[in-house]
Chains A and B, each alone.
Chain A
């Protein structure tokens, strides 16, 4: 494997007095889409927060593009879309995008393409307050897409979206990866697994498996990723 885009070494995180990530080790390959799958509460968001450098960690190292996670030199290169949409409710979609474009130092004209990618072009002048939950999530996603970051951390970006739009978003993600970006996409449902190049299966703060989807099925003899997950919980040990 080439130099990993994200490298996690002996990471332990304590939240609310409980250890929620137990001594994790993980290398994320550059230029591909890695799916981070696991049930709600297993620690996906916590791991992503550690990668973007907003999570207090108890011990261990997280390195992104060769720099310690959260370094100021990384902030223009790493995009993060939080699980709950984080855009300004009292601004229009367009005004939100323009603000984030200015923060990332990219032309505000890129908003148009980003809005198209998330299917919000017709709503661009609407206030975020007037949007549905799914539309807000897409506005939040577009605010990160327009910066074309080298590393894109997406926390459950497609939950609750129309299947047609979901397929289009995945096409966009693949295009970004094709252009060399590294994507880490989390989900608590397993049905998007086959769209990823690599899978990381997580449970209760530990990693069960890290491999391409096809290899996961072959190694576990399961026909779906969900069944593979079950068999790994019963009998751990697929190569990371």
Chain B
């Protein structure tokens, strides 16, 4: 690995995004609009807004980075640039690291903006440290990025790549505890939710919302998320074959 090449790749990915202002606007504005919409929906039920607001702010980056990454990487595979990159001195890990760095940076921006609006303007409360929400948002975004890199290997077209989002993420949203408490689920579903990374994202965020800091369960949840990211990244690296038929 060569950090110069990792940075060069992150810079290139960010430059590609910059030339697509509409995507950048969607990335930054969508979560803000969704939180505002939720505030409106639960205008008379502030307790519900408080319960799901913080997890939403922290989990949203996972879904948007999953989508942008899987499409960007799919394009890299289908337009021949990936094959070309693999003939240059760029190592596979430089490529994956470049993606993670670029989309991690976007996630910081997205998380900061959404947090500013949600906590500053919309009256969302977090009893734990606000910084922990932003950190978790970035960790979740990195997880979304590595899962997106991985699934891009199984899609042949952008249509397929887009469909992976409901396939991969919707079940996780349903089972993570956000919609219904996990303890009230059928035992099989609860067991399944134990191996889905979003469960740990939700658990950490709701604990921070309730006043816990970066220790104990929140720290171990974050560790699980980081390990899941690395695992997806390693599997993603394995799908980047230098030699193909």
| A residues with CB within 8 A of B | 14-16, 52-57, 70, 72, 75-76, 78, 80, 82, 84-92, 95, 99-100, 102-105, 127
* Count of CB-CB pairs between chains A and B under 8 Å: 76
Q: A76-B88, A127-B19 are in contact. List 16 more A-B contacts (CB 8 A).
A: A54-B83, A54-B86, A54-B243, A55-B243, A56-B243, A75-B87, A80-B87, A82-B83, A85-B80, A99-B8, A99-B9, A99-B12, A100-B88, A103-B85, A103-B89, A104-B88
**Residues 33 to 48 of chain B near chain A (Cβ within 8 Å):** none
Residues of B within 8 A of A72 (CB): 89
CA distance A79 to B88 in the complex (A): 8
Interface residues on B, range: 20 to 34
CB<8 Å pairs between A and B, sample of 19: A52-B87, A53-B243, A54-B83, A54-B242, A55-B244, A56-B244, A57-B243, A70-B243, A72-B89, A75-B87, A88-B16, A92-B19, A99-B11, A99-B12, A100-B88, A102-B5, A102-B8, A103-B5, A104-B89
B19 touching A91 by the CB < 8 A rule? yes
User: B17-39 vs A: 1/0 string, CB under 8 Å?
Assistant: 00110000000000000000000
| B residues with CB within 8 A of A | 4-5, 8-9, 11-12, 15-16, 19-20, 79-81, 83-90, 242-245
A15 touching B88 by the CB < 8 A rule? no
Residues of A within 8 A of B84 (CB): 80, 82, 86
Report which of B16, B89, B90, B242 forms a contact with A70, defined as CB distance below 8 A: B242
Q: Which chain B residue has the least Cβ–Cβ distance from A79?
A: B87
Given contacts A80-B87, A82-B83, contact A54 B16 (CB under 8 A): no
Instruction: Give, as a whole number of angstroms, the nearest-CB distance from B40 to chain A.
Output: 35
Instruction: Give, as a whole number of angstroms, the nearest-CB distance from A60 to chain B.
Output: 14
A87 touching B88 by the CB < 8 A rule? no
Report which of A15, A56, A75, A90 forms a contact with B19, defined as CB distance below 8 A: A90
Q: Which chain B residue has the least Cβ–Cβ distance from A153?
A: B87
